[in-house]
Structure 1
């Protein structure tokens, strides 16, 4: 199981729309994410900054499987209009500096 943190940033003024649109994601997108190993995906927002915590079996395999998935392509197109720059799912995530377990 991999656990990684990602970040993205909203365009100014997109906060409430982003929150509303993320209140529920399309069922077919959630099913595809689960099918390809995602156990959980949490997003926190502070102002324009978004922080994602992803737990997935194999992130590289998940990315490859979802790259051309119709549900993900439609969702990314919808969300990217709200983001300040593209959401870089290929970054490998933030580097873990410290953890207390």
Structure 2
């Protein structure tokens, strides 16, 4: 199982709304995340900076499958007003996939 970290940002002033929305994630999205092979997913917040941790067999395949999933598309649209977005209208996200140490 591969482990990934990625960073994102919510718009300044949207921190509480970001947390509130994540207290009520749609069950269809949770199911979709599991269906693409995500076994663990956590998001940490420091101010408006977001740090996500994910365990998944194939990150790139999972993200490609999620791109067309209706539940994920609905969630992404729902979150787009409070996330920092890139020029294509996608959340600004930087993936870190090189793990150099692990203690189990």
Q: TM-score, normalised by structure 2?
A: 0.85
The residue number in structure 2 matching 1:94 is: 96
Displacement after TM superposition at 1:100 (Å) = 4.4
Aligned pair count? 99
**What secondary structure, in the 3-state scheme, does the structure 2 residue paired with 1:60 have?**
helix
Paired residues for 1:43-58 under 5 Å: 43-58=43-58
**What secondary structure, in the 3-state scheme, does the structure 2 residue paired with 1:44 have?**
strand
Distance 1:69 1:97, change over 3 A: closer
> Do the aligned residues in 1 keep the contact of 2:29 with 2:72 (CA within 8 Å)?
yes
* Cα separation, 1, equivalents of 2:17 and 2:59: 28
> Do the aligned residues in 1 keep the contact of 2:84 with 2:92 (CA within 8 Å)?
no
State the Cα deviation string for residues 54-98 of structure 1 (Å, max 9, x = none). Answer: 101111111121111110001011112101224245x5x125474
* Cα separation, 2, equivalents of 1:61 and 1:95: 14
Unaligned runs of 5+ in 2: none
The residue number in structure 2 matching 1:21 is: 21
> Do the aligned residues in 1 keep the contact of 2:5 with 2:54 (CA within 8 Å)?
yes
Report the aligned-residue RMSD: 1.7
Paired residues for 1:51-70 under 5 Å: 51-70=51-70
Q: TM-score, normalised by structure 1?
A: 0.88
